[in-house]
Structure 1
Amino acid sequence: MSRWLSVEVLDDISDNGLDDADRQRFGFNIVITAADVSDAYPFDEEIATLLIAASVTTAWGTDLFGRSKSNLPTGNGPYVSIMLTGGPAPLRTHNAGRAGRVAYRRLTAQVVARAASSTTAYTKAQAAFAALVPVRNTTVAATSP
């Protein structure tokens, strides 16, 4: 469980071309500033929790996938994938202690929607965008894949 201070969009929804199954892809990148850093990883599970709660997706392995070992189905979709992409250096504060303890991590991820129909893929990307962008000062518990 992490305490998310904010979700910021690094770029707007963009056309990512076709995947190997000839499905259209639309995606965007986000940075999450999170406190309680010991609980911040794997934060893709926390992103999944929000997407499932907003009815953007239903469950890991059904229409939601993440991490490099995920095998997406060959169907038309729509499917959403979450890829962890690192992030900028963490933030420290004056009161974090002499050891330089990290106060906030800035975690980044790419969220991509894909479907046989360009309209369906874009609509799913818009739904994921709308579910994540307004998150502020929220405690998020993970949904395990």
Structure 2
Amino acid sequence: MFIDEIRLLLEAANVAEGGVNFFTGPLAAIPKGNGPYLLVRETGGLGPDKTHNQINPPAYTRPQAQVMATGMNPGSVRRMIHDAFSAIVGVANQRVGGVTRSVTLTRSGSTVTGTCEDPHGWATGYSITISGASQTEYNDDFVITVTGDYTFTFSVSGTPVTPATGTITAAYAGTWYRSIDAIQDPFSLGLDSNGNTRFAFNIRADKEFS
């Protein structure tokens, strides 16, 4: 989904941390508190749920999303929305959705556990590309089960050496590879019913994918 790709992009830029001060979905997802909090929500143009490497995927309308910062301290809210805006502008007209993590791999039977150096931000069912392992059995695309903020598991064929050696990375390509081609400058949404300051900007992806 588009908002998942935006979430991964902003987390990789260290704008905010998922589950702490960064949330996706409806406005109700934002907890009560001083903040500042960052929210990404779909605002239209939803497309079919297909993989980025599907041959002849169906057409879809342009995904659109809104990035919003809110909190009691106006200065903190402005800084957060500025940092988010800068991160998005930095990838305008580029493909987005790809996040790569350094990872170590250990195997028990056919189950491999991957441990990332940083929180991966992935979900069960994502297809992850492992590369850089000296044992070629590990270098492939795998559907993962998430077991923690830093860890995930997948199944492997054969009995490759454990732990795996090499400079190993795990990469998530995104549900789609999309290019952000429209970014609105941040604007004020005024105060909410609790007196929190709110700033936001809207973004849209084009129809390109691979």
Q: Please give the TM-score of this superposition, normalised by the length of structure 1.
A: 0.54
Would the aligned equivalents of 2:36 and 2:72 in 1 still touch at CA under 8 Å?
A: yes
- Indicate if the aligned counterparts of 1:46 and 1:143 stay in contact, CA closer than 8 A: no
Q: Determine which structure has greater relative contact order: mean sequence separation of CA pairs < 8 Å that are 6+ residues apart, divided by chain length.
A: 1
Map of 2:121 onto structure 1: 143
Alignment match, 2:16: 57
When the two structures are aligned, how many residues end up with a matched partner? 95
Check if 1:129 corresponds to 2:88: no
Closer, same or farther: CA 139–73 of 1 in aligned 2, 3 Å: closer
Is 1:108 the counterpart of 2:64? The answer is yes
Give the equivalent residue in structure 2 for 1:83. 41
In 2, distance between residues paired with 1:125 and 1:69?
16
Equivalence map 1:25-64=2 (5 Å): 42-59=1-18, 61-64=19-22
SS of the equivalent of 2:70 reads strand
Q: Match for 1:129: what amino acid?
A: F
Deviates more, 1:66-75 or 1:77-86: 66-75
Unpaired runs of 5+ residues, structure 1, are: 1-41, 90-95
Distance 2:33 2:95 in 1: 37
Higher Cα Rg, which structure: 2
Residues 19-43 of structure 1, C-alpha deviation per residue, up to 9 Å, x if partnerless?
xxxxxxxxxxxxxxxxxxxxxxx22
After superposition, the Cα gap between the structure-2 partners of 1:133 and 1:105, relative to the gap in structure 1 and judged at 3 Å, is farther
Q: Which has the higher strand share?
A: 2
| Alpha-carbon distance between aligned partners in 1 of 2:86 and 2:46, rounded to the nearest angstrom | 24
Q: Give the CA RMSD over aligned residues.
A: 3.0
The answer on whether the counterparts of 1:64 and 1:79 sit within 8 Å (CA) in structure 2 is: yes
Q: Which runs of 5+ in 2 are unaligned?
A: 48-54, 100-119, 124-210
Corresponding residue for residue 23 of structure 1 = none
* Contact 1:45–1:143 (Cα < 8 Å) also in 2: no
Query: Which structure carries more helix by proportion?
Result: 1
Alignment equivalent of 2:31, drawn from 52, 68, 73:
73
Q: CA separation of 1:54/1:79 partners in 2, compared to 1, >3 Å: closer, same or farther?
A: same
Give 4+ residue runs of structure 1 displaced > 3 Å after superposition: 141-145
Q: Alpha-carbon deviations, 1:1-32, whole Å to 9, x = none?
A: xxxxxxxxxxxxxxxxxxxxxxxxxxxxxxxx
Instruction: In structure 1, give the amino acid aligned to 2:42.
Output: L
Q: TM-score with structure 2 length normalisation?
A: 0.39
Offset of residue 45 of structure 1 = 1.1
